[in-house]
Amino acid sequence: MSAVIRTAKGGHGFRHWWAQRITAVALIPLSLWLVAGLLAHGGADRAALKAWLADPVPAILMILTVSAALYHAVLGLEEVVVDYVHGSGARIACLILLRLAGAALFAIGIFAVLRISLGA
Amino acid sequence: MSSANRPLSPHLQIYRWQLTSVLSILHRLTGIFLSLGAVALVWWLFAAAFSDAYFAFVQGLFASLSGKLFLFGWTFSLFYHLANGIRHLLWDVGFGFDLRTTYITGWTVVIAAFALTALAWACTVGL
């Protein structure tokens, strides 16, 4: 329980900060790749998009981008929650919801890329 | 003076805005907006994995005026957050803390964000 209280008080400490930096560094090339990829393939029809993600390299890069972006978003939003949501009950509820929403979106995103890539 | 009534700092009505604080607030706001963008990306991928009709529906939403405004905001937020994020990483390794450098890197971030957004949207003109 003490870990929950520490989390509710904003005491994530070093690991939170470090994971935010690692995902930030990863997202420098990945986000640029995503914009370039969306510019080239984002307006395409479904068949063309499938053909793009059927190639292993874009499929793997898309999985990495979705993963890093969602993890980075959860870490950043946790900071916002810790700064602005007062009262430990509401704060813990928000932090739990954030992690669960992040995990759900991660599962949906990875499943989607695999299904597009491996054929649906 | 009771502690409940004392003036809060920064006092927003008389606060003089500076580039540094505006960029700091903008980093957080664009970060929140980019989180929505990540949800949109997953939704778009899910639509593409689901069916032709549903994908066409979602593509139609992104192609609408409000969809395009969202994508424009997303592009600007991404480039701003990316450039200012690199500025943050440089601070993390100890570079650029003096006031002059802070302003130089700050304006660089602003110019880079606008320039990269313009470049990305210029690329869509031919599509």
* Structural domain includes residue B71: yes
Which domains, ranges and CATH numbers included, belong to chain A?
2-118 (1.20.1300.10)
User: Which ipTM was obtained for this model?
Assistant: 0.91
Mutate to test the interface with A, among B28, B30, B33, B35 (most CBs of A within 10 A): B35
* Structural domain includes residue B1: no
The model carries a pTM of 0.90
Q: Percent of chain B at pLDDT above 90?
A: 83
Number of domains present in the structure of chain B:
1
Positions in chain A whose pLDDT score sits under 70: 1-12, 120
* Structural domain includes residue B116: yes
d(CA A42, CA A53): 11
d(CA B95, CA B107): 16
Residue A19, min C-alpha distance to chain B (Å): 13
* Structural domain includes residue B99: yes
* Structural domain includes residue B66: yes
Residue B122, min C-alpha distance to chain A (Å): 10
Distances (CA, A) of A64 to A87, A106, B35: 35, 11, 16
* Structural domain includes residue B5: no
Q: What CATH number should be reported for the domain holding residue B56?
A: 1.20.1300.10
Q: What is the average pLDDT across B82-93?
A: 97
Tell me the per-residue pLDDT of B54-85, one tens digit each, with 9 for 90 and over.
999 999 999 999 999 999 999 999 999 999 99
Which residues form the domain of B114? 19-125
Are B35 and A111 an interchain contact pair (Cβ–Cβ within 8 Å)? Answer: no
d(CA A42, CA A36): 9
